[in-house]
């Protein structure tokens, strides 16, 4: 269980009571626990365990956004959005509390999603600090402690996996030093030497967009002057190889095995998700890094 020590409570209370805060008059710091805090630039979208999706953007001098939270007929609380609080500190140091205001609810059977609007004026955009809060309850404190414990274990696992990969992040305009053996017993260097352009695809079998892109990437790999190499992490190589066969993947893969290898792969390459495409020229120089299949299609429209 997480408890606020007197020092933490004093800092927490001070955080909420500075006179530059927008719309903070009705906020009692004892009612909230900080769930997540990050430096970011807007637009910002969260992807967190045990916290509903938050999307934030700027319109003129106003910060706006939405929060989507679960809704159920079985709940006695008909406004689930009031269990969450979003704060954004702008570049002037002013913290804007974007208290969710539920606007709509969509149902399927007995459950649904409520959509709440987030809003605050006089916002100075730039590098900002986003803080996400949940109601201070025994359940939430227990969940947060478990989340911290899981993250600590996961970070240790990722660190161990990183040490085995020997993989540097690709940097646009620079030579990528990474090389490894593919599933057809060739090195990445071998592939690059036989093509004008080599595209390394960061791939996950759990990514629907990756699977949707397979026909396109298969065709691309058969184009004259272009080769594709998949790059993935898995905790079971046999299952991953069967996945490639089942989904009729025709290009070779470099595969790292280990429980945290997929997360370590993203961290090592400095990327945030799948699929990501790293485009290399014949000298192994990074030409561009494309996030998502639409970005790949747009690049192909001007480079083929």
Instruction: Using a cut of 0.95, tell me whether the model's pTM lies above it.
Output: no
| 141, burial (CB in 10 Å: exposed 0-12, middle 13-18, buried 19+) | middle
CATH of residue 237: 3.40.30.10
Say if 155 falls within a structural domain.
Answer: no
Say if 251 falls within a structural domain.
Answer: yes
79 and 178 share one domain: no
Domain extent at residue 36: 6-136
Torsions phi, psi for 142 (to 5 deg)? -65, -45
Say if 50 falls within a structural domain.
Answer: yes
Give me the residue label for tokens 């500190």: 89
Whether the Cβ atoms of residue 101 and residue 115 lie closer than 8 Å to each other: no
| 179, burial (CB in 10 Å: exposed 0-12, middle 13-18, buried 19+) | middle
pLDDT at 281: 95
Report which of 50, 83, 87 is spatially closest to residue 65, judged by C-alpha positions.
Answer: 87
Choice among 20-34, 73-87, 142-156 with the minimum mean pLDDT: 20-34
Q: At what angle do helices 138-165 and 261-269 cross, to 10 degrees?
A: 70
Pairing status of strand 62-72 against strand 32-41: unpaired
Say if 69 falls within a structural domain.
Answer: yes
pLDDT at 208 over 80: yes
Choice among 25-39, 82-96, 97-111 with the minimum mean pLDDT: 97-111
Choice among 97-111, 201-215, 261-275 with the minimum mean pLDDT: 97-111
pLDDT at 161 over 70: yes
Q: What is the mean pLDDT of residues 14-42?
A: 66
CA 13 vs CA 8, 27, 222: distances in Å: 8, 10, 62
pLDDT at 72: 64
pLDDT tens-digit map of 103-129? 766 666 666 777 888 889 999 999 999
pLDDT at 26 over 90: no
125 and 183 share one domain: no
Say if 154 falls within a structural domain.
Answer: no
Distance CA 261, CA 257 (A): 6
Whether the Cβ atoms of residue 232 and residue 257 lie closer than 8 Å to each other: no
Torsions phi, psi for 174 (to 5 deg)? -115, 160
Q: What is the mean pLDDT of residues 39-61?
A: 86
Choice among 11-20, 52-61, 128-137 with the minimum mean pLDDT: 11-20
pLDDT at 13 over 50: no
Say if 142 falls within a structural domain.
Answer: no
pLDDT at 70 over 80: no
pLDDT at 304 over 50: yes
pLDDT tens-digit map of 242-263? 999 999 999 999 999 998 999 9
Please state the domain count of the chain.
Answer: 2
| 108, burial (CB in 10 Å: exposed 0-12, middle 13-18, buried 19+) | exposed
125 and 214 share one domain: no
Whether the Cβ atoms of residue 198 and residue 191 lie closer than 8 Å to each other: yes
First to last CA, the chain: 57
Say if 268 falls within a structural domain.
Answer: yes
pLDDT > 90 in the chain, percent: 50
Q: What is the mean pLDDT of residues 276-289?
A: 96
Output 68 or 286, whichever has higher pLDDT: 286
């Amino acid at each position: 269980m997480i408890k606020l020590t007197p020092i933490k409570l004093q800092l927490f209370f001070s955080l909420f009571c500075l006179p530059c805060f927008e719309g903070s008059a009705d906020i009692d710091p004892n009612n909230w626990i900080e769930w997540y805090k990050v430096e970011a630039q807007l637009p910002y979208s969260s992807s967190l365990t045990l916290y509903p999706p938050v999307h934030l953007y700027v319109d003129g001098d106003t910060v706006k956004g939405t929060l989507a939270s679960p809704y159920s007929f079985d709940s006695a609380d008909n406004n689930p959005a009031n269990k969450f609080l979003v704060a954004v500190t702008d570049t002037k140091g002013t913290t804007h509390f974007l208290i969710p205001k539920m606007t709509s609810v969509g149902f399927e059977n007995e459950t649904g999603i409520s959509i709440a609007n987030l809003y605050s004026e006089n916002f100075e955009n730039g590098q900002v600090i986003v803080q996400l809060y949940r109601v201070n309850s025994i359940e939430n404190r227990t969940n947060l402690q478990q989340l911290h414990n899981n993250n600590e274990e996961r970070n240790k696992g990722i660190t161990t996996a990183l040490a085995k990969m020997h993989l540097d992040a690709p940097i646009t305009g620079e030579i990528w030093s990474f090389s490894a053996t593919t599933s057809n017993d060739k090195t990445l260097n071998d592939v690059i030497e036989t093509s004008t352009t080599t595209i390394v695809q960061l791939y996950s079998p759990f990514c629907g967009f990756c699977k949707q892109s397979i026909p396109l990437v298969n065709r691309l790999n058969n184009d004259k002057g272009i080769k594709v190499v998949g790059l993935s992490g898995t905790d079971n190589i046999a299952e991953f190889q069967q996945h490639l066969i089942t989904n009729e993947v025709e290009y070779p893969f470099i595969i790292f095995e280990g429980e945290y290898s997929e997360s370590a792969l993203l961290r090592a390459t400095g990327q945030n998700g799948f699929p990501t495409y790293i485009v290399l020229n014949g000298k192994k120089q990074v030409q561009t890094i494309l996030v998502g299949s639409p970005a790949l299609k747009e690049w192909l429209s001007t480079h083929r």
